[in-house]
Amino acid sequence: MKSHNIDIRVYYEDTDAGGVVFYGSYMKYCERGRTELLRAINVNNSEIFKTDGVFFVVRKLTADYFLPALLDDMLTLTTSVERIGGASMDMKQILTRDGEKIFEMDVVMVCIDTDKRPKKWPDVIRNGLS
């Protein structure tokens, strides 16, 4: 299955008053990682909505915070596809600093149509991520 890396710089806007990354910022980082994984297979979220009438939602996530990320840190986020089902996809996202794991998230994504009903993953996504 496919995986993709992006680098993330921690900015002041990502942190709390103590210079530690706010827990919600990790969700933002992971959203970027999933978006860039799709871009790596030439899938654009707004275009796939126009062409196939589908979009992707988080059904479930589990996050583990091992070490704090800090202001000005340079992080690497690896987003990996672990399983592609009919309308769901299991992904793992690992954030590291200098090769050390500081955060990990398991996420279940679901492909839905404009009526908010599950829909089979488009072939361009299934083939690109397999």
Amino acid at 10: V
Query: If you write DSSP's letter for every residue of 65-103 in order, what string do you get?
Result: E-S--BTT-EEEEEEEEEEE-SSEEEEEEEEEETTEEEE
> What residues are annotated to the active site?
16
Give the residue among 62, 57, 86, 69 at the shortest CA–CA distance from 18.
Answer: 69
The domain segmentation of the chain, as residue ranges, is 3-129
What architecture does CATH give domain 3-129? Answer: Roll (3.10)
- pLDDT, one tens digit per residue, over 46-99 is 899 999 999 999 999 999 999 999 999 999 999 999 999 999 999 999 999 999
Can you name the residues that pair with 21 across neighbouring β-strands?
A: 15
The H or E element containing residue 108 is: strand 100-113
* Whole-structure pTM value: 0.94
